[in-house]
Amino acid sequence: MLIRNETRNDIAAIRTIVTEAMKLLPQASGTEADIVDRLRDDDGLILSLLAEDEGQPVGYLAASMGRLGAAQNWGLIGPLAVTPSRHGEGIGSALMVEAIHRLRPFCKGAVLVGEPGYYGRFGFRAYPGLRVGDCPPQYILALPFDAEEPAGELIHPAAFGLHQEG
């Protein structure tokens, strides 16, 4: 498997992967592929990773710059998506490991909203001071790259459509 940066030729495949993968999640809004497109259009993607197996796109991970309260430079991961027929093969894990590796040099840490049982294996965990609107706090997860404990409201880029600062 190869993990690489997206190219313009990958956009349709990325939309398909994200749309199909998100259909399996009850919390998905159905707008995740549109969010990726808006992030791309706004130059908001700090990572846009495609996983390929024998030349076929099988997974995708996006990261943008987020903020925790007043703390800038947090890598906001999402969406992470794997072609449904390829779930359980380690594709999502490989994308996440690569994303964390690439974010470390220039981010204070990584943050996401997701399933603690899955993302905990990468070192993500909930912190008492993290929040995103009315999202249950156990799903707001962070992986600090320094010793500072993350706290504050997770501010998403405007492309997420959450009426927050961009």
> Would you list the domain boundaries of the chain?
2-160
| Whole-number Cα distances in Å, 20 to 24, 64, 152 | 7, 21, 32
pLDDT higher than threshold 60 for residue 133? yes
pLDDT in tens, 82-127: 999 999 999 999 999 999 999 999 999 999 999 999 999 999 999 9
How is residue 88 written in tokens?
A: 């359980």
Q: What is the pTM of this model?
A: 0.92
Q: Would you say 19 and 33 are in contact if contact means Cβ atoms under 8 Å apart? A: yes
∠ at Cα 62 (148, 42), nearest 5°?
Answer: 100
Q: Report the pLDDT averaged over residues 57-69.
A: 95
pLDDT higher than threshold 70 for residue 164? no
Q: Report the pLDDT averaged over residues 61-79.
A: 93
* Integer Cα distance of 60 and 103 in angstroms: 16
Q: Report the pLDDT averaged over residues 151-162.
A: 87
- Among residues 24, 6, 101, which one has the least CA distance to residue 62? 6
pLDDT higher than threshold 50 for residue 166? no
Domain 2-160 has CATH 3.20.20.70: no
Number of helices (H) and strands (E) in the chain: give both, helices first. Answer: 4, 9
**Strand positions, DSSP E, 1-108:** 2-5, 45-53, 56-68, 71-82
**Residue pointed to by tokens 């999502």:** 92
Q: What CA dihedral angle connects 122, 128, 133 and 134, to 10 degrees?
A: 100
Q: What is the pLDDT at residue 29?
A: 67
